[in-house]
Structure 1
Amino acid sequence: MSTTKLHYTTPGLDEADAIRVIDLLQSRLHATNDLHLTLKHVHWNVVGPQFIAVHEMIDPQVEAVRAMADDLAERIATLGGAPRGTPGALVAERSWDDYSIGRASTQDHLEALDVVYRGVVTSYRENIDELEKLDPVTQDLLIGQTEKLELFHWFVRAHLEDASGRLRTDQ
């Protein structure tokens, strides 16, 4: 059961649908806030022979994912909701475990990021499917963000792939 309260909603979207869309957006907001913090953590804690390549690859992802979070929060507000962006709300409402790797090799972090991106992209795609009938405007927002997330996931996976196309994380 949702606890979302509406102040109003956008014309053409009924209240029950608006509440469901806001709840979906809130889950994506938590995911992107968590992801950009995790990416920054990796940026600070990665070590090893490929350090500079991974260190420099991560920062543009951090900035893009932060911008995604802002767009999600503004869409929640546009639909009459109140985005919850505090660390406490994120931790209390998320359905995944905290990123557990500290200072570690590039391969360790990239393998862990592969798992993180798999989860984020999968949940985005599930929400896109549900939004098809609920709100195509919000669906379009998530589709655009998914394209960027999949690109960033590919950047990570390219470091994990061998010459035959097999990923180290599929072993």
Structure 2
Amino acid sequence: MPPTTRKSNVKTLKFTVPGMAQADAKSVVAILQERLDALNDLALTLKHVHWNVVGPNFIGVHTMIDPQVEAVRLMADATAERIAALGGSPAGTPGGLVSRRTWDDYSIDRADAIAHLGALDVVYDGLVKAHRKAIADTEEPDPVTQDMLIGQSHQLEQFHWFVRAHLENSSGVLSTAGAVAEKPAARRARR
């Protein structure tokens, strides 16, 4: 998920929340648009996994993923609504998401549950890191947004833990340790 920051394409805001400077609101809207794109992408990726997981752990992973999809969709909605409250215009079209994202499309198709979980470990790792950066970047200009992002991070980190629990051995070693891309993580998870 999003490891880099991109240039803001936020136009001048006509208004923002009381007590917030326009420049701060514009900065926060840009941060939130990045998070909105990442959350929308994650929801689609999780649904893709839900549809394409196979193998002996199918039902456990298949049923674990859907509540994550729903929770991430709610996070995306809250993020879009915060952008609007700050005077921005949340962009949620598929083409816009693809043109703005700084990460590659999810690379695993039909595969066994452990392979998908290995790839999702990398996805969640990047997403959680980017969310934590957004938390740090919103501390000064907008503690309300920061609070929302903290709540989202709590859930995202829990979902990441659920994924990693399948990849961890009894000694606490992750099968995906050191992997930074989905396909290598999927291969390591299968070992």
Paired residue secondary structure (2:176): helix
2:86 to 79, 90, 102: 79
Q: Which runs of 5+ in 1 are unaligned?
A: none
Match of 2:106 in 1: 99
User: Does 2:45 correspond to 1:38?
Assistant: yes
Question: What is the CA–CA distance in structure 1 between the aligned matches of 2:115 and 2:17, rounded to whole Å?
Answer: 45
TM-score by length of 2: 0.88
Match of 2:184 in 1: none
Match of 2:183 in 1: none
Question: What is the CA–CA distance in structure 1 between the aligned matches of 2:57 and 2:73, rounded to whole Å?
Answer: 25
1:4, distance to aligned residue in structure 2 (A): 1.1
1:86-112 deviations in Å (ceiling 9; x for gaps): 001110001111001100011110000
Question: What is the CA–CA distance in structure 1 between the aligned matches of 2:9 and 2:177, rounded to whole Å?
Answer: 39
Cα RMSD over matched residues? 0.8
TM-score by length of 1: 0.98
Match of 1:4 in 2: 10
1:3, distance to aligned residue in structure 2 (A): 2.6
What is the one-letter code of the residue matched to 1:119? Answer: G
Match of 1:109 in 2: 116
Whose helix fraction is larger, Structure 1's or Structure 2's?
1
Question: What is the CA–CA distance in structure 1 between the aligned matches of 2:117 and 2:71, rounded to whole Å?
Answer: 18
**4+ residue runs over 2 A deviation:** none
Match of 2:140 in 1: 133
1:161 to 156, 162, 168: 168
1:47, distance to aligned residue in structure 2 (A): 0.3
Question: What is the CA–CA distance in structure 2 between the aligned matches of 1:7 and 1:99, rounded to whole Å?
Answer: 37
Aligned residues: 171
1:57, distance to aligned residue in structure 2 (A): 0.2
1:134, distance to aligned residue in structure 2 (A): 1.0
Match of 1:26 in 2: 33
Question: What is the CA–CA distance in structure 2 between the aligned matches of 1:169 and 1:37, rounded to whole Å?
Answer: 23
Match of 2:70 in 1: 63
What is the one-letter code of the residue matched to 2:90? Answer: P
1:151, distance to aligned residue in structure 2 (A): 0.3
Match of 1:146 in 2: 153
1:121-163 deviations in Å (ceiling 9; x for gaps): 0000011011110100000000000000000000000000001
1:21-70 deviations in Å (ceiling 9; x for gaps): 00000000000000000000000000000000000000000000000000
Question: What is the CA–CA distance in structure 1 between the aligned matches of 2:170 and 2:9, rounded to whole Å?
Answer: 50
Percent identity for Structure 1 against Structure 2: 65
Q: Which runs of 5+ in 2 are unaligned?
A: 1-6, 179-191
